[in-house]
Amino acid sequence: MDYKHLGYFVTVCIIVFGSVISWWLKMFLTERKILKRISLLEEEK
């Protein structure tokens, strides 16, 4: 087993999957924040 090259592959997997999950989480939190603001603004009206 070539552990050095396995390490490269694992690093890439962590970067690819990690960045997609982080992106989704950021969108999820942003969306929640905006929806809260919108409902507050609609209540004010």
Partner 1 sequence: MNSFNSKRIPNIMAVIIIIMLGAGLKIVVDYSLTVDKEAGYLWAQKIFYYHVPSAWTAFLGYFIVMIAGVQFLRTGNRKWDQIGVASAELGTFFCLLILITGPIWGQAAWGQPWTWEPRLLTTLILFLLYVGYFMLRQFGGHYERIARNSAVLGIIAFLDVPIVYLSLKFWSADTQAHPQLGMSEQSSLVLNVFFFNLATFTLLFIYMVWYRIHILKLKQKQLELTHGL
31 lies in the binding site for partner 1 (CB under 8 A): yes
CB of 6 to partner 1, least distance (A): 4
> Which tokens go with 27?
């969108």
Number of other CB atoms surrounding residue 15 within 10 Å: 10
Considering only the C-alpha atoms of the chain, give the largest distance between any 2 of them, rounded to a whole number of Å.
66
17 lies in the binding site for partner 1 (CB under 8 A): yes
How far is the C-alpha of 5 from the C-alpha of 10, rounded, in Å?
Answer: 9
**Residues binding partner 1 (CB under 8 A):** 2, 4-6, 8-9, 11-13, 15-17, 19-20, 23-24, 27-28, 30-32, 34-35, 37-38, 41-42, 45
